[in-house]
Amino acid sequence: MFSADHGVRPLRRYLLVSLVPVLVLGAAAEFSIRRQTERTAVAAAQSRAVLVADDVVEPVVHLSVDEPSALDDEARTGLRAIADQLALGGSVAGVRVWTPSGQLLFDGADPSADTARVELAESLFDAAEGDASVLRGRAPGRISPFYTADSRRLLTVFVPLHTADGASVVAVAELVIPWAGDHAAQGQLGLRATSAAGALLLWVSLATIAAVVTAQLRRSELAHRHLALVDQLTGLPNRRSFTDAAAGTLATLADHQLPAAVAVLDLQRFTEVNKAVGRERGDELLRHVALRLQSIVQPGQVVARLGGDVFAILLPGVDGDAAMAMLPIIHDVLEAEIDVAGVPISFEAAIGVASFPAHGQDIDLLLRRADIAMQESKRTQAGSEQFTVDLDDTDHSRLGLAVELRRAILRDELQLAYQPKLNLHDNRVHSVEALVRWNHPERGPIPPSEFVALAEESALIVPLTAWVLDRAIQQAGRWAAEGLHLRVAVNVSAKNVRDDRFPEQVIRLLARHEVPAPYLELEITETAIIADPDRVARTVRRLRSAGIAMALDDFGQGSTSLAHLRNLPLSTLKIDKCFVDDLCTDAMDGAIVYTMIGLGHQLGLEVVAEGVETQEQFSTLAAWGCDVAQGFYFARPMSPAQISEQYGTPWYLAPDPVVPNRSVNVRPSP
Ligand code: C2E
Ligand code: MG
Ligand code: MG
């Protein structure tokens, strides 16, 4: 996955780059050594020349100021002896004596210091215009080392000679000094070697540090990459590496026009199991599941954990139908029991499959569509589903609808309809059920079964219930102010009754609208109870103790056990419409309804039958002692104004417009 070249190339580049400053440093050191050597050589020559001129030459040159060119024989002999002696010693290569005006009085220079030198000296004297002090000051700087015919390097220094009393300059001594710079330079070889070795050492150390640091960085980069690609809990590839690997595989398959399938797998009830066994054991379970999935995949297939209890499998070379045929193996493997601390646990999985290229060309879309199919398999409880285009459309429009519903709640665009409930003992309407309505500006009226379910799947149900409660309580207050004392029933969802803060919110709303608690009833469904019976019991108890009536809605549809009913301080049982529908035509349904009425009464509950559509049903229910009926037979859900109009002042005196002949008395056949 990674090339070895990856780390070497930057190191090599670094070494080359670091060599540049090291070389520059070396060159600078060499340059400064050379300059220093030259300066030292020139200064040494100057001081030697001055010493020789003052101590040796000047005493023998007895010139008078009046007659500067008259060098006598004795002086000449003396100078010759000095020049020879100095040349012999090697410290001075020659001596010349000039008049201050540039006339050569004595030439005791090395023959190789030829005429060119003399000419040079003469031109210098011209420039100095006879001022020897100027000459002396300038000469060492002005006259650079020169080479003799035999390639010796010499330096020439001019030094003024004075009269015996030292008062005036009578002549100028030119001393030719052998160039000592080369010797000095040789002496600096050690220094040079040391500085070169230092630079090399510096470079090598830098290179070593760079190599070590690069290797460390490389190692930690590899470790980080590994961590970023592997799911820490199970060791399986994570979502990122799954999508990377799948993208590569899909590209290869596309070249060969081969199909592939992507399966997304969700463990059902894992959240509950995790809660029950504790987090650590939950992790252990996930590791088991990962191992099992890994044990069944073939070479080339990839299994990954996408997060939580969701896994994905890439099946190359297999189309959607073939993948569906392989799923039973996965179901079997997961359903086999896993022993967790002596407790056998098994999982059912919801699996969705999307196929390449039919359902998408890229892995992200395939994963999304496999996920949609997986959600569908949860809904249908089929265990596995293959993606179809209609599923995606539904999904898209549902998503859009959820966004619009949120907006509708915020903008107050929903309405409440109220359906009267008729008391079968006095033929009067004492209560109504608030039913939410959404008239979508483009789609028209959307049935609550659709958008309430959508709200229940998301967190939207919380603001939705809050909105309904607020409006319904407010309406109950308004009717009461009109003299119409109606109890308003509001449907609440499982999420609401599992929230410990819910009872206080309801009590606060009643207080805000100054409506007494008996004007409110809450309807909960059996599914809400089953999800978390203990917590629901707490909520129901709190609400009941505040004086709010509590009804169990759609009774008979779910699977509430009698034990649940006994533990809940309910006030009302609402028999589900599906039993009421065939109450008069199906003996079994009739028997069920009859029994439910009896059961409710035995538990001390008021019994309501919902979905009453015919006079026959109505009469039968009344005859069997059912307390309240709700249904299209005598009233559909209607607006608050319609309620006021039909049941308003003085509602109890109004003739009962809907109560049919109540003489019918049907008993279920045995
Ligand atoms: P539900 O609570 O069982 O409400 C009764 C439903 O049965 C209402 O449907 C009502 O219009 C309908 N119905 C009443 N009598 C008859 C009848 O004789 N024949 C037939 N065919 N239907 C009848 P709706 O308004 O469509 O509401 C459906 C469901 O949506 C409700 O069932 C309730 O579960 C839910 N729902 C409605 N409003 C709300 C709400 O504000 N909050 C919550 N959480 N759920 C609500
Ligand atoms: Mg209801
Ligand atoms: Mg109902």
Q: Return the SS3 of 126.
A: helix
Position in ligand 1 atom list of the atom nearest CA 456: 44
State the CATH number of the domain containing residue 367: 3.30.70.270
| Closest CA relative to residue 628, chosen from 348, 416, 378, 424 | 424
Distances from the Cα of 581 to the Cαs of 52, 427, 525, 576, 667, in angstroms? 141, 21, 19, 9, 16
Q: Which of 83-97, 127-141, 439-453, 631-645 has the lowest mean pLDDT?
A: 127-141
The answer to whether residue 651 is domain-embedded is no
Q: Ligand 1 centre from 645 Cα, in Å? A: 22
Q: What is the pLDDT of residues 535-559, one digit of tens each?
A: 899 999 999 999 999 999 999 876 6
- pLDDT category at 132 given cuts 50, 70, 90 is low
Contacts of 571 (CB under 8 A, 6+ apart): 521, 544, 549, 550, 551, 605, 606
435 lines ligand 1 (CB under 6 A): yes
Which of 158, 187, 216 marks a domain boundary? Answer: 187
The answer to whether residue 213 is domain-embedded is no
Averaged pLDDT for residues 418-437: 95
The answer to whether residue 25 is domain-embedded is yes
Position in ligand 1 atom list of the atom nearest CA 633: 18
The answer to whether residue 427 is domain-embedded is yes
Which of 147, 168, 187 marks a domain boundary? Answer: 187
Backbone angle region of 427, left / alpha / beta, with phi > 0 → left and psi within -120 to 50 → alpha: left
447 lines ligand 1 (CB under 6 A): yes
Which of 146, 164, 187 marks a domain boundary? Answer: 187
In this structure, the chain runs to a length of: 670
Does 434 lie in the same domain as 333?
no
Nearest CA to ligand 1 atom 46: 491
Q: Ligand 1 centre from 125 Cα, in Å? A: 127
Q: Which of 40-44, 80-84, 480-484 has the lowest mean pLDDT?
A: 40-44
Residue 126 has pLDDT above 50, yes or no: yes
**Full-model pTM:** 0.51
Does 561 lie in the same domain as 463?
yes
Domain count across the chain: 3
Q: Ligand 3 centre from 176 Cα, in Å? A: 127
Averaged pLDDT for residues 639-646: 94
Does 347 lie in the same domain as 422?
no
Q: What is the pLDDT of residues 507-545, one digit of tens each?
A: 999 999 999 999 999 999 887 787 678 889 999 999 999
Does 455 lie in the same domain as 344?
no
Residue 65 has pLDDT above 80, yes or no: no
The answer to whether residue 662 is domain-embedded is no
Residue 452 vs residue 663, higher pLDDT: 452
472 lines ligand 1 (CB under 6 A): no
DSSP for residue 237: B
| Closest CA relative to residue 534, chosen from 492, 570, 567, 573 | 567
Task: Tell me the C-alpha distance between 303 and 295, whole Å.
Answer: 10
Could you give the count of Cα atoms lying within 13 Å of 181 in the half-sphere of its Cβ?
Answer: 19
Q: Mean pLDDT over all residues of the chain?
A: 82
Does 433 lie in the same domain as 383?
no
Q: Which of 414, 429, 435 to mutate to test the pocket of ligand 1 (most atoms within 8 A of CB)?
A: 435
Does 429 lie in the same domain as 317?
no
| Closest CA relative to residue 33, chosen from 198, 154, 202, 187 | 187
- pLDDT category at 198 given cuts 50, 70, 90 is confident
Residue 553 vs residue 115, higher pLDDT: 553
State the CATH number of the domain containing residue 432: 3.20.20.450
Could you give the count of Cα atoms lying within 13 Å of 75 in the half-sphere of its Cβ?
Answer: 19
High-pLDDT (> 70) share of the chain, %: 82
Nearest CA to ligand 1 atom 45: 491
Ligand nearest to C-alpha 452: 1
What pLDDT score was predicted for residue 669?
39
Residue 670 has pLDDT above 70, yes or no: no
Nearest CA to ligand 1 atom 22: 611
Q: Strands 260-267 and 349-356, how do they pair?
A: antiparallel
Residue 287 has pLDDT above 80, yes or no: yes
Averaged pLDDT for residues 276-284: 87
Does 625 lie in the same domain as 564?
yes
556 lines ligand 1 (CB under 6 A): no
Does 517 lie in the same domain as 380?
no
613 lines ligand 1 (CB under 6 A): yes
Phi and psi at 469, nearest 5°, equal -60, -45
- pLDDT category at 622 given cuts 50, 70, 90 is very high
Residue 117 has pLDDT above 70, yes or no: no
The answer to whether residue 306 is domain-embedded is yes
The answer to whether residue 216 is domain-embedded is no
Averaged pLDDT for residues 326-341: 88
What pLDDT score was predicted for residue 650?
45
Does 451 lie in the same domain as 358?
no
Token pair 């799911």 in the structure block, residue? 231
User: What counts of helices (H) and strands (E) characterise the chain?
Assistant: 24, 21
Does 641 lie in the same domain as 510?
yes
* CB-based contact 541:525 (threshold 8 Å): no
Nearest CA to ligand 1 atom 21: 611
What pLDDT score was predicted for residue 617?
96
Amino acid at 240: R
609 lines ligand 1 (CB under 6 A): no
What pLDDT score was predicted for residue 479?
95
Position in ligand 1 atom list of the atom nearest CA 417: 25
Position in ligand 1 atom list of the atom nearest CA 493: 44
Residue 165 has pLDDT above 60, yes or no: yes
Residue 241 vs residue 442, higher pLDDT: 241
Residue 352 has pLDDT above 50, yes or no: yes
Percent helix, strand and coil across the chain, each to the nearest 5: 55, 20, 25
Does 145 lie in the same domain as 79?
yes
612 lines ligand 1 (CB under 6 A): yes
Residue 229 vs residue 417, higher pLDDT: 417
Residue 407 has pLDDT above 80, yes or no: yes
Q: What is the pLDDT of residues 200-225, one digit of tens each?
A: 887 777 777 767 776 776 766 666 66
- pLDDT category at 304 given cuts 50, 70, 90 is very high
What pLDDT score was predicted for residue 562?
75
- pLDDT category at 147 given cuts 50, 70, 90 is low
629 lines ligand 1 (CB under 6 A): no
Task: Tell me the C-alpha distance between 633 and 644, whole Å.
Answer: 19
What pLDDT score was predicted for residue 93?
77
* Structural domain boundaries, residue 464: 415-646
Residue 598 has pLDDT above 50, yes or no: yes
- pLDDT category at 3 given cuts 50, 70, 90 is very low
**Residue 298, class by beta-carbon neighbours within 10 Å (0-12 exposed, 13-18 middle, 19+ buried)?**
exposed
- pLDDT category at 659 given cuts 50, 70, 90 is very low
Distances from the Cα of 602 to the Cαs of 265, 548, 559, in angstroms? 46, 21, 19
Task: Tell me the C-alpha distance between 180 and 594, whole Å.
Answer: 132
What pLDDT score was predicted for residue 504?
97
Position in ligand 1 atom list of the atom nearest CA 490: 41
Residue 250 has pLDDT above 50, yes or no: yes
Residue 137 has pLDDT above 90, yes or no: no
Does 246 lie in the same domain as 155?
no
Calculate helix-pair angle for 448-457, 461-482, nearest 10 degrees.
130
Q: Ligand 2 centre from 508 Cα, in Å? A: 22
High-pLDDT (> 90) share of the chain, %: 43
The answer to whether residue 345 is domain-embedded is yes
What pLDDT score was predicted for residue 226?
62
Averaged pLDDT for residues 236-251: 92
State the CATH number of the domain containing residue 45: 3.30.450.20
Residue 310 has pLDDT above 90, yes or no: yes
Amino acid at 404: E
Q: Ligand 3 centre from 554 Cα, in Å? A: 4
Residue 143 has pLDDT above 60, yes or no: no
Averaged pLDDT for residues 136-153: 52
